[in-house]
Amino acid sequence: MVAELRPLLAAEAAAEAAAAGGEARDLEQGVWLRLLERLERSDPPRDPAHWLRQAVRAEVRALRRAARREHALCRDPADETRPGPEQLALASARRRTLQDAVRRLPGRCPRLLAALFSPHDLTYREIARELGMSQGSLGPERSRCLGCLRRLLGPEVAPRPRRG
């Protein structure tokens, strides 16, 4: 039966594969597998040629359904230019450590650093007005606050070697 059906299956698969977006050989393998499964369960088909054509169409429908469910990758899974889950978790932990340390700073330092790193990108004039201090004293105050922050964090945030 296999030798008798092989040319018909090759022709049917070649005719249907392009429309299904698949490979003719994949269709052929799927149909042969269906035939083997059928032979294990029951008798051979009464009209093998008719059964074969029906099986090819069933495989084509299955390919189309699978293609609709599949989604293209937005990026290469091995793309190392974007952070993975581990890097995101570590960065989040570093941010929490930094925010906690900033809250423990003395005097106006927590408010000053919060204003400097504000997402609103405030100017020195706006920061000085918000904190009620002169614009000229912001630079020295900022340096003092950053020095305190470095001492407070110590080795926790030691500079990491740059990748190059």
**Segment 28-39, tens digit of pLDDT:** 999 999 998 888
pLDDT at 163: 57
Regions of the chain where pLDDT drops below 70: 71-79, 155-164
* Rounded (10°) angle between helices 48-69 and 24-41: 120
Judge residue 161's burial from the number of C-beta atoms within 10 Å of its C-beta, 0-12 exposed, 13-18 middle, 19 or more buried. Answer: exposed
**Segment 60-87, tens digit of pLDDT:** 888 888 877 776 666 666 667 778 888 8
